[in-house]
A and B are shown apart, each in its own frame.
Chain A
Amino acid sequence: MRAVVAEDQFLLRDGLTRLLEAHGFEIAAAVADAPALLQELLHNPPDVAIVDVRLPPTFTDDGLRAAIDARRAVPGLPVLVLSQYVEQLYARELLADRAGGIGYLLKDRVFNDDQFVDAIKAVAAGGTVMDQEVVAKLLRRQARRETLARLSAREREVLELMAEGRSNIAIAQRLFVSEKAVSKHSTSIFAKLDLAPSDDDNRRVLAVLAYLNG
């Protein structure tokens, strides 16, 4: 799988590159600023891009904007955005095109390389991966609590893990239930959120969006 890494701090860029190579990724390019990233994404789109939000030249949200611009030109281009902090505002902007293949994680998540690589693979496959901190903040929202009141407690747990980009197998392991039970729960979630039957991946993305956008 071809991956592009955009990170301005050398140590982190190097660490990410080595981590990905160790897990069988081919590093197509490792860039240090937003213009180089955009150039790479537009002219040689990889299978997945791992992008730091804060990049030169302005050291604000250049990485985020480059990712959104690239996805405007190449719809659905899988991008996993990494940041020292997560903002719901940015999560919304990344999700706005509803094209899937998007991830938004805290940099800390790199510590758990297995989960991190799973997240990259989920994004590359067109899934949606949101950091658990974004998900936790959303849960605090009263209005949203009511929208999702139709779901049972267990179903909400499943949806939460789905939003974090986990597969049914991973969710089953996490909740100590069978995979069959998870798939039963997810069918029930889709029904309660009025999502028409279609291919499963797309419905997962839509369920997550319904969840995130209230």
Chain B
Amino acid sequence: MGSGSQLLVVALLAAGVLVASARIRSDREAHGLPTRFGHLAWTLALAVLPITMVATLSGRFDPSGLRAWMVAIALAIAVVLAIRPGLAPRLVPAGLILLGVASIVLARAYLLAAPPSALPASVVALPGPSGGSVRPGLDAATPAGLWATGPGLALVQAYLFVLLGGWLAWRSADPLLSRARHLLDRVTGLAPRAQFRALLLLPVVIMAAELFIPGRWYSPASVALWFLPFLGAAVVVLRRWPGAAGRLAVLGVLLLGLSGIVLAMTFQYGNAPSEYGLVVMAARSSPGLVAGEALVLLAFGAWLAPQTFPSARRLLRLPPDPELTRQVQQLTDSRAVAVDTAAGDLRQLERDLHDGAQARLVALGMSLRAAERLIPVNPDAAIALVAEARDTSARALTELRELVRGVHPPVLADRGLSDAVRALALDCPLDVQTHIDLPGRPAAPVETACYFAVAELLTNAAKHSGAREACIDVGHSDGRLRIEVTDFGLGGADPAAGGGLAGVEKRLAAFDGIMAISSPAGGPTIVVLEVPCALSSPKTSSC
């Protein structure tokens, strides 16, 4: 094995990562349901990793022994994945990160005066940083071998592994990893996009430390002394000023890129200090690689900077962040709808009161006044008028009751969303089953919006679907209220046709809520509503 196998490993890795990322995308689309193609892709991606890992830590194996190990491990992985395919999306990012970290640790050990005795003999016997030849028999494809042939490539590869593993973990839809992301959300209190930039601070700090720790001071104690303050400071900044951490990280990426170019040029064109850290040594042995890495870092920083520093965006005359523009547009739209709806509702309320209860009260007063006059003259007619007045007041009450129900249904005020939805189900002409599991109550405006949404959906189902039965599921998880209304009717409901469904969608948008409809011809029609909201503590008493 030589540079050919090295290329093979890199190619396999690249292919594995490509399919793995494709798999992650399909994962997200299919709600994490495994596909046959996805399995194959993961297996391929995964098989490469432990093989390289073993190669990393077993430099002393002869090539034929190594091949036997690779085949055995690849078989073992295939068996494990056949039994537990769900493990694949967790193992790949974990494997990449471990591999990168192992490679960095190995580099440390290689440069330390006294490497741990547990390391393979070949690593210990490697020539020092001042140069020399690679020991025959050492596989150049392994990171240990790489360290001997080109520290620059090894360093790039190590960080590449860590970054790729982190990125894959970041994008994965795997439940365990998403739980970890949620935990991170809570700990840092950052939006996921900002989080990624802020967390860049940690690798940037480590790389910066690598750059500046003098090589002649390498010993476990001095490394700890150098690294711990750097890491401690980074963690404090991350926790206290997460926004600033993102900016520092981006600045750090740019500075590292610049210093890499300076270093590479120094070694290319003149003398340089010999006693500096890993990056410096890498630059000495392979200035081209370090310059390449520096260019990648600069490009990365240039891509990140306009997102982190809005002024950079203006300076570069770039259009505003499309994601932010979209959000602003969405907020403007939903706010306009909310305001319009509220104003429209008030107008309607005024009209209903004016034409209904108010008019009836006027009639009531007139009837009573007429009766008052008739009492001495024609008592029978007076009695008839009073009876009429009573009817009028009853009608006024009925109208007021309908109005109140339309403004804020009493059962919703009394009992909250759960019982209000049950009441809707009972009032519906269809036979409606309810499955409601809400441990507390959402905020009042969300409750009201959801109530009217369900009322609208049930009315639609009763009017248009031709269904005899329907069912409503209400639940809350991951900070989202989810309502599913299903009718077993003809299907073919179309929100684009305007009317009720579009109205429901617009009103929910004011709470960042969304609506999804599945209504194939022949039914059933399933409408799902999701609104992000927290629940208040459960009610203490209810009958």
Contact = CB atoms under 8 A, between A and B. Distances in A.
Interface of A: 53-54, 60-61, 64-65, 68-69, 84-85, 87-90, 92-93, 106-108, 111, 137, 140-143
B339 interface: no
Contact of B411 (A68, A89, A107): A89
B521 interface: no
Contact of B397 (A64, A69, A108, A137): A108
A41 to B, nearest CB: 15
A143 B411 CA distance: 24
A142 B429 CA distance: 6
A88 B427 contact: yes
Interface in B390-410: 390, 393-394, 397-398, 401, 404-405, 410
Interface stretch (B35-43, B269-277, B414-422): B414-422
Given A61-B415, A87-B411, A88-B426, A142 B394 contact: no
B438 to A, nearest CB: 16
Contacts of A88: 423, 426-427
A111 B394 contact: yes
A68 B427 contact: no
Given A69-B543, A111-B393, A60 B415 contact: yes
B431 interface: yes
A87 B431 CA distance: 17
A143 B430 CA distance: 7
Contacts of A69: 543
Contact of A65 (B405, B431, B543): B543
Contacts of B426: 87-89, 92
Contact of B543 (A87, A93, A107): A93
Interface in B215-243: none
Given A84-B401, A85-B405, A142 B430 contact: yes
Contact of B427 (A65, A137, A142): A137
B543 A60 contact: no
B394 A89 contact: no
A85 B420 CA distance: 14
Given A111-B394, A143-B468, A85 B427 contact: no
Given A54-B414, A85-B405, A85-B410, 20 more contacts: A60-B413, A65-B543, A84-B410, A85-B404, A85-B411, A87-B423, A88-B426, A89-B415, A89-B422, A89-B423, A90-B411, A92-B426, A107-B397, A108-B397, A108-B398, A111-B393, A140-B429, A141-B431, A142-B430, A143-B468
A89 B422 CA distance: 7
Central interface residue in A60, A89, A142, by most chain B CB within 10 Å: A89
Nearest to B423: A89
A92 B422 CA distance: 11
A69 to B, nearest CB: 7
Contacts of A142: 429-431, 468
B29 to A, nearest CB: 39
Contacts of B419: 89
A123 B405 CA distance: 28
A93 B415 CA distance: 13
Given A93-B543, A140-B429, A143-B468, A61 B414 contact: yes
Central interface residue in B394, B414, B429, by most chain A CB within 10 Å: B414
A68 B542 CA distance: 11
Contacts of A137: 427
A85 B394 CA distance: 13
Central interface residue in A65, A108, A137, A140, by most chain B CB within 10 Å: A108
Contacts of B427: 88, 137
Interface in B422-465: 422-423, 426-427, 429-431
